[in-house]
Chain A
């Protein structure tokens, strides 16, 4: 199996298109850094405690004003409240804020995981269909290895590619962020707001969980693209349908949100973040429910890939 994965990796990483994708990822991070670098770079001075106190007074004033006029909803008030509490925490614990810290940049770029998903979908769509397209499938399947082993090695290779891309995204955003804002902020704790209280959490853990949540969608879409690739043997169909669904999935769910069965739709369950910090698509949906639905889809996609691939008459 290890040799098979080695083979699949060789096939991916000897193609120019793979490097173009990874290159684009790096370029994207640098471009975002370029846009962010200029504005709002007002550094906090040594007087930062006074500044934060002043800020809090302003926030408090805004809250009382808006509440009196009833112009702003509770949510906005909550945001200001959160800021105030965070500022107080900084003052109490002597943690100077940084205008735009290294970790802020890295956190911002967790959004680029969807770009990684896109590239992983392209790889997944090509890894089986490509062999059929070039006719190399024939020389691949006449080796002393059952077909499921070959399919599994391809699937694992796609996941490996996604993993490598995520590491690359993290490393580039860390390095670019560091160059931009200095690496001095690296040891700063991340202040999270939990159940109305400010808590310090390990920043790496925070970023890791953000990546992990984003990867749920990545994993499902990649598995879907892999299935399409195996069933239709055309990478264009696999890429097209997967990317279309990835971008319209959420819209589809909100469009169907009145239907009772919408909670069984894949895309209603891919954002697990709503269970820790937000509102689920349908009231009464829980983390456990979503995990069960996701598992069912995951198994379904893989079983279909496996059945089709191992039973298929190869007459390309």
Chain B
């Protein structure tokens, strides 16, 4: 896979009044990769995306798309970008098809065949001749994706794209983005608060908080750092006995009990020890669940536990 940067953020700053909303953010998204943009509410995700689209001005710094500056060469820079900012708001009184015609006309070289192709791609063929006001949120998302793909952009930016999609839709959507990244070598930038989803979707993740980019890592690095420690949950017949047993073995580690389960954060190599200890005490085990730290927990660690969007 080529690693040509499609979009480059260079020391981006945004000041509104006296407040620094975005403070010196720099990163790149390469062709063929899916980049996740993660952060709590008000961290500056949407602000950054708006600057990329030229919807708001950049106080300092430069955003280059295929080498063209969004500030100084807007038309050329934006030509190769497609996307959705926040919700996919369309003209309610027009049909889905006419909405697409509307956007297609603004590029000037999009054929009817291309519109139909995109409609089929997002699976909207059945309803595209209906007015948008009759659409469900999921269908609007599909239409939003369709308008983002119309002009075959080399960068797609999606803000909270899976909002309103059902699980099957999300799965399909994910597969779709993968296909676009891998087969068409498109750079994709996604912001989402569905952290578990990012885990499944993205190659790299950048974490933003209070307008600063805290960390960029590949998803694999992110998760495997100290993967040996994980939450292990035992389903047992006697929770009280099990608790006493665990408390004796791991004095500093807290346990979490429910009616028939008890869980503890331990190194996975210690599981056999616990099993034999339980057997000695006459605690019968009917199930063991291992849970590796999720992205969400990691995320909370990195951001210091402030609320997630």
Interface, chain A (partner B; CB < 8 A): 3-4, 6-7, 10-11, 14-16, 134-136, 138-139, 141-146, 311, 313-315
Contact = CB atoms under 8 A, between A and B. Distances in A.
Nearest to B104: A3
20 contacts: A6-B105, A10-B94, A10-B98, A11-B91, A11-B102, A14-B94, A14-B98, A134-B92, A138-B55, A138-B85, A138-B86, A139-B84, A143-B78, A143-B106, A144-B75, A144-B78, A313-B55, A313-B56, A315-B50, A315-B56
Instruction: List the 5 closest A-B pairs by CB distance, nearest first.
Output: A135-B89, A313-B56, A3-B105, A143-B106, A144-B79
A142 B86 contact: no
B250 interface: no
B147 to A, nearest CB: 7
A235 to B, nearest CB: 15
B185 to A, nearest CB: 21
B32 interface: no
B90 interface: yes
A6 B102 CA distance: 9
A218 B214 CA distance: 56
Contacts of B102: 7, 10-11
B105 A142 contact: no
Given A135-B86, A142-B54, A144-B76, 16 more contacts: A4-B105, A4-B106, A10-B102, A16-B93, A134-B89, A135-B89, A136-B89, A139-B88, A141-B54, A142-B85, A143-B78, A143-B107, A144-B106, A146-B74, A311-B57, A315-B56
Interface in B35-89: 50, 53-57, 74-76, 78-79, 81, 83-89
B90 A136 contact: yes
A145 B105 CA distance: 11
A313 B17 CA distance: 13
Contacts of A141: 53-55
Contacts of A142: 53-55, 78, 81, 83, 85
Interface string B92-136: 111000100111011110000000000000000000000000000
A139 B147 contact: yes
A145 B106 contact: yes
A18 to B, nearest CB: 10
A145 B75 contact: yes
Contacts, number: 78
Interface of B: 50, 53-57, 74-76, 78-79, 81, 83-94, 98, 101-103, 105-108, 147
A258 B93 CA distance: 51
B63 to A, nearest CB: 13
A80 to B, nearest CB: 57
Tell me if B's interface is mostly helix, strand, loop or mixed. loop
A133 to B, nearest CB: 10
Contact of B91 (A3, A4, A134, A146): A134
A144 B79 CA distance: 5
A167 to B, nearest CB: 24
Contacts of B107: 143-144
A145 to B, nearest CB: 6
Given A138-B55, A144-B79, A11 B94 contact: yes
A138 B85 CA distance: 7
A139 B85 contact: yes
A143 B76 CA distance: 10
A152 to B, nearest CB: 14
A315 B42 CA distance: 13
Contacts of A313: 50, 55-57
Nearest to B85: A138
B289 to A, nearest CB: 43
Contacts of B78: 142-144
Contact of B103 (A134, A135, A143): A143
B108 to A, nearest CB: 7
Contacts of A144: 74-76, 78-79, 106-107
Most buried by B among A16, A138, A139, A143: A139
A309 to B, nearest CB: 13
Nearest to A3: B105
Contacts of B105: 3-4, 6-7
A70 to B, nearest CB: 65
Given A11-B94, A139-B89, A3 B55 contact: no
Contacts of B56: 313-315
A139 B87 CA distance: 10
A313 B81 CA distance: 19
A139 B107 CA distance: 13
A129 B107 CA distance: 24
Nearest to B101: A10
Contacts of B83: 142
A311 B71 CA distance: 12
